[in-house]
């Protein structure tokens, strides 16, 4: 009846939202008077026993050559098998690309109800009521999962992690792993070092920047802030930037600490993809731009003047700090 958290990794590195999911799992276990365990498919450089500091008791690890390819069919079976073996009734994924791909499959295998993209601990006083944003963040739904087993995915940046002094027990698992049917042919990663969905700072440009040749200053600003770069839909449609940088309702949804929108008017569809950002800063020369209505801070001004000044001021501050 314990809680099981899926540790998502890629190329031997645990993905950032996982730590939050681990801590969330341990809080939920505490709430339900049970234990939180985790599982990882494949090998990572990190010492897995150190994950105890997030409140995790056991880490099940499956090593198999088949797992070097991400095939959701193979992964889901392995996760469900570990869930059954460890008598887990609540499975938690990060609400990122792999979590989104796997959660539905695992829910079916375990005959579990699924709620994706929750942002808080469930209310378990009468049922198992999970809160999640719906309608592109304009509303929240409180959804009761009525099956015995439950699968939830946690939206990144939903809770603050507190660590403690604990060590987890790492248990190698020998469950059977199927052969992948999917063959990966190529991988293209973006130039920015931080991935868009995991970045603390997202710097995003719109049509106001007039052309792809003006993205240099945005790249410089992004680098200075250690963030990731993004763009609005028209920019991706015009092929100024690759569409995997497009944030918005039909693009990637982000929830960074700060979202800086430069030369973006702020159409409803764009805002729906970024409105979970903790702070929204808008730079636009049009004082009537709808984006100012949802912004926390704004500068009415020409991006070609404001952004270089911003870069200069950040450099100045960094040289002092």
Partner 1 sequence: MKILVCISKTPDTTSKISFKDENTKFEDKGVQWIINPYDEWYALIKAIELKEKDASVVLHLITVGQNDCDPIIRKALALGGEEAIRINAESNDSYYVAAQIAAVAEQGNYDIIFTGKETLDYNGNAVGGMIAEILDLPYIALATKFELNGDKAIIQYEIEGGEEVCEVALPVVVSCQEGMATQRIPNMRGIMAARSKPLKVIDPVDATISTHVNRFEVAETKTGVTLIPADNVAALVQVLHEKIKVI
Site for partner 1 in 213-232 (CB under 8 A): 225-228
Cα–Cα distance, 273 to 99 (Å, whole number): 18
- At 76, list the tokens: 């889901």
* 211 exposure class (CB count in 10 Å sphere: 0-12, 13-18, 19+): exposed
Q: Any contact of residue 13 with partner 1 (CB under 8 A)? A: no
Q: Considering beta carbons, is residue 113 or 205 the nearer one to partner 1?
A: 113
Binding positions for partner 1, 163-182, rule CB under 8 A: 181-182
Shortest distance, CB of residue 168 to partner 1, whole angstroms? 24
Q: Which window, 38-46, 55-63, 159-167, 305-313, contacts partner 1 (CB under 8 A)?
A: 305-313
Q: Quick one: which segment of 38-46, 58-66, 167-175, 308-316 binds partner 1 (CB under 8 A)? A: 308-316
Question: The tokens 């003047």 sit on which residue?
Answer: 305
| Residues 121, 30 contacting (CB under 8 angstroms) | no
Using CB under 8 A, which residues numbered 231 to 290 contact partner 1?
236, 243-244, 246, 249-252, 257-258, 268-269, 272, 275, 278-279, 281-282
Q: Provide the minimum distance between the beta carbon of 172 and partner 1 in the complex, in angstroms, as a whole number.
A: 26
Q: Interface with partner 1 includes 319 (CB under 8 A)?
A: no
Report in angstroms how near the CB of residue 301 gets to partner 1 at its nearest: 3
Triad 253, 314, 317: Cα angle to 5°: 135
The site for partner 1, by CB under 8 A, has a size of 103
| Residues counted in the chain | 321
Q: How far is the CB of 23 from partner 1 (least distance, A)?
A: 20
C-beta of 254: minimal distance to partner 1 in Å? Answer: 12
Q: Where does this chain touch partner 1 (CB under 8 A) — which range of 32-40, 51-59, 106-114, 166-174?
A: 106-114
Contact with partner 1 (CB under 8 A): which of 121, 129, 161, 175? 129
**Distance separating alpha carbons of residues 206 and 216, to the nearest angstrom:** 14
> Chain centroid to CA 292: how far?
26
Tokens 């190329």 -> residue: 11
| Inter-helix orientation angle 216-224/303-320, to 10° | 30
Task: Compute CA distances 228 → 219, 224, 283, whole Å.
Answer: 9, 10, 17
> In this chain, which of 59, 154, 168, 196 binds partner 1, going by CB under 8 A?
196
Per the CB < 8 A criterion, the answer to whether 264 and 204 are in contact is: yes
Among 12, 63, 84, 108, binds partner 1 (CB under 8 A): 108
Q: Which of 35, 61, 116, 173 binds partner 1 (CB under 8 A)?
A: 116
Q: Please report how close the Cβ of residue 279 comes to partner 1 at its closest, in angstroms.
A: 5
At closest approach, how far in Å is the CB of 181 from partner 1?
Answer: 5
Taking the alpha carbons at both ends of the chain, their separation in whole angstroms is 50
Give 15 or 58: the residue with its C-beta nearer to partner 1: 15
**From CA 180, how far away is CA 318, in angstroms rounded?**
48
Binding of residue 60 to partner 1 (CB under 8 A) = no
Measured distance CA(238)–CA(89) in Å, rounded: 47
Q: How far is the CB of 234 from partner 1 (least distance, A)?
A: 12
Residues 6+ apart with CB under 8 A from 126: none
Within 10 A of 293 (CB to CB), how many other CB atoms are there? Answer: 11
> Does residue number 186 form part of the binding site for partner 1 (CB under 8 A)?
yes
Neighbours of 86 (CB within 10 A): 18
């Amino acid at each position: 009846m314990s809680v099981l958290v899926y540790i998502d990794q890629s190329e031997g590195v645990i993905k950032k939202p996982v730590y939050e999911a681990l801590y969330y799992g341990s809080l939920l276990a505490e709430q339900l008077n049970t234990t939180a365990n985790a599982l990882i498919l494949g090998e990572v450089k990190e010492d897995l026993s150190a994950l105890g500091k997030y409140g995790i008791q056991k880490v099940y690890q499956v090593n198999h050559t088949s797992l070097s390819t991400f095939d959701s069919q193979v992964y889901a079976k392995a996760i469900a098998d570990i869930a059954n073996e460890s008598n887990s009734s609540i499975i938690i994924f990060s609400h990122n690309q792999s979590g989104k791909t796997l959660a539905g499959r695992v829910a079916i295998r375990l005959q579990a109800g699924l709620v994706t993209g929750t942002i808080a601990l469930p209310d378990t006083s009468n049922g198992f009521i999970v809160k999640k944003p719906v309608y592109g963040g304009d509303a929240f739904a409180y959804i009761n999962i009525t099956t015995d087993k439950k699968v939830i995915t946690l939206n990144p940046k939903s809770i603050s992690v507190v660590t403690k002094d604990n060590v987890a027990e790492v248990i190698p698992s020998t469950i059977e792993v199927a052969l992948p049917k999917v063959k990966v042919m190529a991988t293209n990663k973006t130039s920015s070092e931080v991935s868009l969905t995991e970045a603390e700072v997202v710097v995003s440009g719109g049509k106001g920047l007039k052309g792809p040749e003006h993205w240099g200053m945005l790249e410089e600003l992004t680098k200075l802030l250690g963030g990731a770069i993004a763009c609005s839909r028209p920019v991706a449609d015009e092929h100024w930037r690759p569409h995997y940088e497009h944030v918005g309702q039909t693009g990637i949804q982000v929830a960074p600490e700060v979202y800086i929108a430069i030369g973006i008017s702020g159409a409803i569809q764009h805002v729906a993809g970024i409105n979970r950002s903790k702070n929204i800063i808008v730079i636009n020369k049009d004082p009537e731009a709808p984006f100012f209505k949802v912004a926390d801070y704004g500068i009415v001004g020409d991006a070609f003047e404001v952004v270089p000044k911003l870069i200069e001021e950040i450099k100045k501050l960094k040289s002092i700090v």
